[in-house]
Structure 1
């Protein structure tokens, strides 16, 4: 399998961590979607991550969107099941993932509004940026409350919920280091520190600026 992505995308990082925790082999193919249209051959949306099945080289052999990819990858090996198969348990883990993905979406939108080269400074909207960062703050507060004093986001073991939360918080630290989400969310800060000690998180940390 080939995973097309970048070292800075939190969605790619989520897939990479899942692959590592599942102990699956793959080839990471780096792609800058902002400077090349090569990704369109595999994903018409022009986005990463994109997982390409072995021996395939067209859209029909590709899986895209991080939620779809991790869902598929979790079925490839019985090692470290990350997503419950059914029922309320599955819904809870996927809801954690959706919340964390929302943080990443909002942070990416805020970053693009400030940094996208195609938008001149006079066209950038600070109110839009603040609206996205308010979503980040609200989601962090919700995750902090949901976590409480539990060892893991869901159940009594590590799951996709924890991976998603860790990737979201890591991306906020990476792109918006001035945001002090830890100060108001001690439960989340504690959990993030624990997640950061896992080898899968260490190996996929975004490059230093």
Structure 2
């Protein structure tokens, strides 16, 4: 198994957590933007190969890995909806981060302001929920934890605005299976 990506990517981190927790041997192949543009039609990380199979999105990779381990992937419709909601916020936040890094003034473009507003609305919605301790078998929880951790690492969000999400992240940060994959450790 080869997982292509970067240590800082929250999508790659989610895959690394599942691989490690399932004790599946794999090689993480460090991959930058130029390499992902050449090697994946999605032009992003992660992408994955195993026994001739090539997958191009973290969600398909996760589903494949869960199937290999006889585990479910977002089998409950509410968990799947949560996964999709978090994924929307994560993908939008990453796009805004990359635009900001390229010098685009997000606050000057109406469309980008709406995208930022989308992220805030999703986080407000998620903060209104009661959060149990993160379940390492629940991909919606893992996606949320990877998103919040990445957003703090990249200084994209002040998580103090959302105390329930802050508590959720503090709880999952205590778990070695999560803490040991933090991008700052790479």
TM range (shorter): 0.7 to 0.9
Q: Are 1:82 and 1:160, in contact at CA under 8 Å, matched by a contact in 2?
A: no
Give the drift of 1:132. 3.0
Distance of 1:163 and 1:139 partners within structure 2 = 16
How many residue pairs get aligned? The number is 184
- Structure 2 counterparts to residues 141-160 of structure 1, below 5 A: 141-146=124-129, 148=130, 150-152=131-133, 158-160=137-139
Aligned mate of 1:126, from 104, 107, 119? 107
Q: Secondary structure at the match of 2:143?
A: helix
Partner of 1:95: 81
Structure 2 unmatched runs, 5+:
none
Give the drift of 1:111. 1.1
Distance of 1:139 and 1:39 partners within structure 2 = 30
More helix by share: 2
Q: Report which of the two structures shows the higher radius of gyration computed on alpha carbons.
A: 1
Distance of 1:52 and 1:157 partners within structure 2 = 23
Partner of 2:66: 74
Q: Are 2:55 and 2:61, in contact at CA under 8 Å, matched by a contact in 1?
A: yes
Distance of 1:38 and 1:190 partners within structure 2 = 35
Q: Provide the aligned C-alpha RMSD in A.
A: 2.5
Q: Which runs of 4+ in 1 moved over 4 A?
A: none
Distance of 1:82 and 1:190 partners within structure 2 = 26
Distance of 2:21 and 2:82 partners within structure 1 = 18
Distance of 2:123 and 2:30 partners within structure 1 = 30
Q: Are 1:96 and 1:164, in contact at CA under 8 Å, matched by a contact in 2?
A: no
Distance of 2:133 and 2:85 partners within structure 1 = 15
- Structure 2 counterparts to residues 175-190 of structure 1, below 5 A: 175-176=154-155, 179-183=157-161, 185-190=162-167
Residue 198 (structure 1) aligned with residue 175 (structure 2): yes
Structure 1 unmatched runs, 5+:
none
Residues 162-192 of structure 1, C-alpha deviations (whole Å, 9 max, x = no match): 1011011112111225x32223x22211111
Distance 1:25 1:187, change over 3 A: same
Residues 126-171 of structure 1, C-alpha deviations (whole Å, 9 max, x = no match): 244543332222111111123x1x4257xx8851111011011112
